[in-house]
Protein backbone atom coordinates (compact mmCIF):
# COMPACT_ATOMS: atom_id res chain seq x y z
CA UNK A 1 0.00 0.00 0.00
CA UNK A 2 1.40 3.41 -0.97
CA UNK A 3 1.65 5.89 1.87
CA UNK A 4 3.15 9.36 2.03
CA UNK A 5 2.77 11.89 4.84
CA UNK A 6 4.74 14.82 6.17
CA UNK A 7 7.24 16.99 4.34
CA UNK A 8 7.40 16.50 0.60
CA UNK A 9 8.41 18.27 -2.58
CA UNK A 10 5.99 19.28 -5.35
CA UNK A 11 7.42 19.37 -8.86
CA UNK A 12 5.40 21.24 -11.45
CA UNK A 13 6.25 21.21 -15.15
CA UNK A 14 4.56 23.93 -17.23
CA UNK A 15 4.53 23.04 -20.91
CA UNK A 16 2.27 23.32 -23.95
CA UNK A 17 -0.36 20.79 -24.91
CA UNK A 18 1.27 20.37 -28.32
CA UNK A 19 4.78 19.65 -26.97
CA UNK A 20 5.86 16.26 -28.31
CA UNK A 21 8.41 13.59 -27.32
CA UNK A 22 9.01 10.88 -29.94
CA UNK A 23 5.58 11.29 -31.61
CA UNK A 24 3.53 11.35 -28.39
CA UNK A 25 2.53 14.14 -26.00
CA UNK A 26 5.36 15.29 -23.72
CA UNK A 27 3.07 15.24 -20.68
CA UNK A 28 2.40 11.53 -21.33
CA UNK A 29 6.12 10.77 -21.40
CA UNK A 30 6.68 12.65 -18.13
CA UNK A 31 3.85 10.74 -16.41
CA UNK A 32 5.08 7.37 -17.68
CA UNK A 33 8.66 8.09 -16.60
CA UNK A 34 7.47 9.23 -13.16
CA UNK A 35 5.53 5.98 -12.85
CA UNK A 36 8.54 3.92 -13.92
CA UNK A 37 10.69 5.80 -11.39
CA UNK A 38 8.27 4.74 -8.64
CA UNK A 39 7.13 8.25 -7.71
CA UNK A 40 4.04 8.51 -5.52
CA UNK A 41 1.84 9.97 -8.25
CA UNK A 42 1.43 12.38 -11.14
CA UNK A 43 -1.44 14.48 -12.45
CA UNK A 44 -1.81 16.49 -15.64
CA UNK A 45 -3.90 19.66 -15.66
CA UNK A 46 -4.98 21.39 -18.85
CA UNK A 47 -5.22 25.16 -18.66
CA UNK A 48 -7.82 27.31 -20.36
CA UNK A 49 -5.58 30.31 -20.91
CA UNK A 50 -1.99 31.37 -20.39
CA UNK A 51 1.28 32.61 -21.84
CA UNK A 52 4.93 31.83 -21.39
CA UNK A 53 8.34 33.06 -22.48
CA UNK A 54 7.10 33.95 -25.99
CA UNK A 55 4.38 36.21 -24.50
CA UNK A 56 1.87 34.71 -26.95
CA UNK A 57 -1.49 34.18 -25.22
CA UNK A 58 -3.03 30.74 -25.70
CA UNK A 59 -6.72 30.53 -24.87
CA UNK A 60 -9.67 28.17 -25.11
CA UNK A 61 -12.16 30.99 -25.74
CA UNK A 62 -14.37 30.22 -28.71
CA UNK A 63 -13.39 33.19 -30.89
CA UNK A 64 -9.65 32.66 -30.50
CA UNK A 65 -9.19 28.90 -30.17
CA UNK A 66 -5.66 27.74 -29.58
CA UNK A 67 -4.42 24.23 -30.15
CA UNK A 68 -1.48 24.67 -27.78
CA UNK A 69 -3.14 25.27 -24.42
CA UNK A 70 -1.04 25.35 -21.25
CA UNK A 71 -0.52 22.06 -19.41
CA UNK A 72 0.84 21.52 -15.91
CA UNK A 73 2.24 18.15 -14.84
CA UNK A 74 2.35 17.91 -11.04
CA UNK A 75 4.36 15.30 -9.13
CA UNK A 76 4.58 15.01 -5.34
CA UNK A 77 6.98 12.76 -3.45
CA UNK A 78 9.84 12.95 -0.99
CA UNK A 79 12.54 15.51 -1.77
CA UNK A 80 15.07 12.76 -2.43
CA UNK A 81 12.90 10.95 -4.98
CA UNK A 82 11.86 14.15 -6.78
CA UNK A 83 15.47 15.36 -7.04
CA UNK A 84 16.52 11.96 -8.42
CA UNK A 85 13.89 12.43 -11.15
CA UNK A 86 15.11 15.90 -12.24
CA UNK A 87 17.79 14.66 -14.72
CA UNK A 88 15.03 13.00 -16.76
CA UNK A 89 13.30 16.36 -17.10
CA UNK A 90 16.56 17.91 -18.34
CA UNK A 91 16.34 15.48 -21.23
CA UNK A 92 12.62 15.94 -21.89
CA UNK A 93 11.78 19.60 -21.34
CA UNK A 94 13.44 21.83 -23.94
CA UNK A 95 10.88 24.66 -23.61
CA UNK A 96 8.80 25.32 -20.53
CA UNK A 97 9.06 26.02 -16.83
CA UNK A 98 9.93 23.57 -14.04
CA UNK A 99 9.30 24.60 -10.43
CA UNK A 100 9.87 22.97 -7.05
CA UNK A 101 7.85 23.80 -3.94
CA UNK A 102 8.06 22.48 -0.41
CA UNK A 103 4.73 21.07 0.69
CA UNK A 104 3.22 19.01 3.46
CA UNK A 105 1.25 15.87 2.67
CA UNK A 106 -1.63 15.51 5.10
CA UNK A 107 -2.85 12.16 3.84
CA UNK A 108 -2.00 9.98 0.86
CA UNK A 109 -2.95 6.32 1.01
CA UNK A 110 -3.37 4.07 -2.01
CA UNK A 111 -5.03 0.73 -2.49
CA UNK A 112 -3.34 -2.46 -1.40
CA UNK A 113 -2.18 -3.86 -4.75
CA UNK A 114 -2.65 -7.49 -3.75
CA UNK A 115 -6.09 -7.37 -2.15
CA UNK A 116 -7.50 -4.31 -3.94
CA UNK A 117 -8.72 -3.08 -0.55
CA UNK A 118 -8.65 0.53 0.55
CA UNK A 119 -7.87 1.82 4.03
CA UNK A 120 -9.80 0.90 7.19
CA UNK A 121 -12.45 3.56 6.52
CA UNK A 122 -13.10 2.22 3.03
CA UNK A 123 -11.77 5.31 1.29
CA UNK A 124 -9.66 5.52 -1.83
CA UNK A 125 -6.60 7.72 -2.04
CA UNK A 126 -7.07 11.48 -2.04
Dihedral Cα 75, 77, 78, 81, nearest 10 deg = -70
Beta bridge partners of 104: 7
| Alpha helices per DSSP H over the chain | 26-36, 79-92
Render pLDDT for 6-52 as a digit per residue (tens, 0 to 9). Answer: 899 999 999 999 999 999 999 999 999 999 999 999 999 999 888 87
Q: Which fold has domain 8-105?
A: Alpha-Beta Plaits (3.30.70)
The reply to whether the predicted model has a pTM over 0.85 is: no
Q: What are the tens digits of pLDDT across the range 54-113?
A: 777 777 765 656 678 899 999 999 999 999 999 999 999 999 999 999 999 998 777 666
Residues 6+ apart with CB under 8 A from 22: 29
Amino acid sequence: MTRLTGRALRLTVHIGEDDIWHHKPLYTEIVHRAHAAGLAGASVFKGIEGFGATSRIHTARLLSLSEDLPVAVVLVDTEERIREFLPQLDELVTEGLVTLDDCEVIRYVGRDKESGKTDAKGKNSL
